[in-house]
Every structure is written in structure tokens, then in C-alpha cells.
């Protein structure tokens, strides 16, 4: 099993890339890159060179340092909001699958409402209501992840509920909660982890989009989305300000997608083995 995991090159590469980004983020926030992150008007808008590998921005901050510092907010917000969505959504989905009846119906309706909303616009409204900042960004993104995980867990659990081992558990008098968490949860965990990675890649894009329109991460904390927004009018003068932060963003998303694909493959292969 370990061997097969290692053999999957893309899986390892993408995991390494994400790890590298996190490390870079921690290094940046620990103060090691402060000279690159501080405003220095004497070195503004410098093209990429050996001194500044990816150039500098309009206020003389090093682009590479900013990308490093921006990775932790981006990945952190995405991770937090998706986990929040999963922690709320999965029990919801499992419990409704176990109990069935009118509660399930009500929760399905509530999910419909959230799904029907144009997600980005609702996030815009939420952040406008609660004031921009990290906390509200997390909430605004998490809101859309709750129904995703609830549906996923519910759909899988509903199939499992018809299987014999659940019937056995019910016959032996186990409570709804026990069935949900002891029997259903381990069986939906695999797909859920895959979905976590997929949702996280969507959440990174959402966070950068909110920051791009000025509602996400607030200055002086760096953010990939805001770097792109600041760069927009400078496209003709300083193209490196547009290309590099966007490339960082895209590679993080790509890494997460590949991670999800790899895990999905690994997981389905694993389960087939069990079936055999």
C-alpha cells in the first residue's frame, strides 16, 4: 500500500508543493521575509532580477516574498472554511439518512435554498454585512460547503442504510447517533476526504476572488487575490505583477485537484481489493 502511494508521482508532487507553500507561508509570517514585505519606494516596480526574483510591486515590496506570505492566508482560509463545512455538513447528512422522515425533508429543502443562491453574490453580501476580514470570509465560504458535505454524506449513507450490517446494528438496538458515527462515518470517510480536497481548491479560488474585489483578506496581510487586483492597471507596465501571483494560485488549485484525483483512484482501488 505504501509502495503504491509512493508510485503515484503526481500525488506526491502535489502534496509536496502544498507542503512547500505552507512552509513558505510560515517562514514569511515568522518575520524572516520582513525586509521584502516592507514598503520601500526606492525599489518600486523593478522587473524580475537576481535581487528580486519575481520583481517588486508599486510600493516596492518583493513579489516572491508576498506570494510566500500570501500562501498561508489563502490555504488557511480555504482549509478552515471547508473543514467547518464538513464538520457541520457530514453529521447533518448522516443523521438525516439514519432518521429519515420530515427532518430529512426539511434539511433537504434548506439545502436547496442555499444551492439556489448565486454563491459568489451571497458571499459578497455576507462579507458586506459582517464587514470584510478573515472571519467573515471563512463563514461566507463555509456556508456553501455545509450542503455539499451534507448531500455527499446523505447520498452515500442512504445507500449503506439498506445494507445488512446496518440492519444488524439496528436490530441490536443501537441508537441513531451510534449508527451514524460508528457504522456510517468510517464508510463515507474516503469519499469525504476526496471531496475535502476538491472543495478546498474551489474555496481557494473563492477566497482569492473575494480578496480581488476587496472583501476578503485585508491589508497589510498579503493575499494573492489582492495582489492581482492591485496589478490590474499596471498590466502594461509591470506584467510580472499579474503573472506570478496568478500562477501561484493556479498551481495551488491544480495541486489540490491532483491530490483529490490521486486519492480517489487510490481509494477506489483499495475498496475493490477489500471487495475481492
Site for another protein in 69-88 (CB under 8 A): none
Angle of helix 63-99 relative to helix 185-212, nearest 10 degrees?
A: 140
CA-wise closest residue to 64 among 38, 29, 37: 37
How far, in Å, are 114, 187, 199, 244, 263 from residue 82 at the CA level? 16, 20, 7, 26, 17
Tell me which of 126, 158, 161, 185 binds another protein, using CB under 8 A. 126
Coil vs helix vs strand at 56: strand
**In the 8-state DSSP scheme, what is residue 38?**
S
Rounded to a whole number of angstroms, the minimum distance from the CB of residue 176 to another protein is 25
| Binding window for another protein (CB under 8 A); candidates: 96-104, 105-113, 150-158, 167-175 | 105-113
Long-range contacts of 270-276 (CB under 8 A, 24+ apart): 270/1, 270/190, 271/190
Coil vs helix vs strand at 52: coil
Binding mask 201-230 for another protein (x = CB under 8 A): x---x--xx--xxx---xxx-------x--
CA atoms within 13 A on the CB side of 261: 13
State yes or no: residue 233 binds another protein (CB under 8 A).
yes
State yes or no: residue 14 binds another protein (CB under 8 A).
no
Residue with cell 482549509: 79
How far, in Å, are 45, 62, 173, 178, 229 from residue 53 at the CA level? 13, 8, 65, 55, 21
| Binding window for another protein (CB under 8 A); candidates: 26-34, 146-154, 200-208, 264-272 | 200-208
In the complex with another protein, which residue's Cβ is closer, 73 or 180?
Answer: 73
Tell me which of 38, 163, 177, 268 binds another protein, using CB under 8 A. 38
State yes or no: residue 54 binds another protein (CB under 8 A).
no
State yes or no: residue 244 binds another protein (CB under 8 A).
no
| Binding window for another protein (CB under 8 A); candidates: 18-26, 71-79, 123-131, 176-184 | 123-131
**In the 8-state DSSP scheme, what is residue 57?**
-
Residue with cell 503573472: 243
| Binding window for another protein (CB under 8 A); candidates: 17-25, 28-36, 39-47, 65-73 | 39-47
**In the 8-state DSSP scheme, what is residue 232?**
G
Cell numbers representing residue 264 in the block: 480517489
State yes or no: residue 104 binds another protein (CB under 8 A).
no
CA-wise closest residue to 191 among 180, 181, 199: 199
Size of the site for another protein (CB under 8 A): 55
List CB contacts of 164: < 8 A, sequence separation 6 or more: none
Tell me which of 1, 116, 171, 274 binds another protein, using CB under 8 A. 116
Rounded to a whole number of angstroms, the minimum distance from the CB of residue 274 to another protein is 23
State yes or no: residue 129 binds another protein (CB under 8 A).
yes
Rounded to a whole number of angstroms, the minimum distance from the CB of residue 229 to another protein is 9
CA-wise closest residue to 59 among 41, 35, 37: 41
Binding interface with another protein (CB under 8 A): 38-39, 41, 44, 58-59, 109-110, 112-113, 115-122, 124-126, 128-129, 131-132, 201, 205, 208-209, 212-214, 218-220, 228, 231-237, 239, 242-243, 246, 249-251, 253-254, 257-258, 261
Amino acid at each position: 500500500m505504501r509502495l503504491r502511494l509512493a508510485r503515484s508521482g503526481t500525488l506526491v508532487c502535489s502534496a509536496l508543493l502544498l507542503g512547500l507553500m505552507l512552509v513558505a507561508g510560515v517562514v514569511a509570517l515568522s518575520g524572516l521575509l520582513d525586509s521584502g514585505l516592507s514598503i520601500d519606494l526606492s525599489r518600486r516596480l523593478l522587473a524580475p532580477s537576481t535581487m528580486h526574483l519575481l520583481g517588486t510591486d508599486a510600493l516596492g515590496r518583493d513579489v516572491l516574498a508576498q506570494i510566500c506570505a500570501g500562501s498561508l492566508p489563502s490555504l488557511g482560509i480555504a482549509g478552515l472554511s471547508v473543514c467547518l463545512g464538513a464538520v457541520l455538513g457530514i453529521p447533518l447528512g448522516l443523521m438525516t439518512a439514519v432518521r429519515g422522515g420530515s427532518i430529512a425533508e426539511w434539511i433537504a429543502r434548506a439545502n436547496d435554498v442555499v444551492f439556489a443562491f448565486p454563491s459568489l453574490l451571497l458571499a459578497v453580501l455576507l462579507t458586506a454585512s459582517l464587514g470584510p476580514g478573515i472571519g467573515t470570509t471563512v463563514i461566507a465560504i463555509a456556508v456553501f460547503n455545509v450542503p455539499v458535505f451534507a448531500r455527499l454524506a446523505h447520498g452515500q449513507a442512504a445507500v449503506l442504510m439498506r445494507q445488512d450490517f446496518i440492519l444488524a446494528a439496528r436490530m441490536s438496538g443501537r441508537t441513531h447517533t451510534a449508527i451514524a458515527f460508528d457504522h456510517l462515518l468510517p464508510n463515507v470517510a474516503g469519499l469525504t476526504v476526496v471531496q475535502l480536497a476538491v472543495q478546498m481548491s474551489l474555496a481557494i479560488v473563492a477566497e482569492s476572488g473575494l480578496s480581488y474585489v476587496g472583501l476578503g483578506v485585508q491589508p497589510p496581510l498579503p493575499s494573492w487575490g489582492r495582489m492581482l487586483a492591485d496589478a490590474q492597471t499596471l498590466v502594461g507596465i509591470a506584467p510580472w505583477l499579474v503573472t506570478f501571483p496568478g500562477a501561484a494560485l493556479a498551481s495551488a488549485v491544480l495541486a489540490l485537484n491532483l491530490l483529490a484525483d490521486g486519492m480517489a483512484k487510490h481509494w477506489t482501488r483499495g475498496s475493490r481489493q477489500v471487495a475481492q
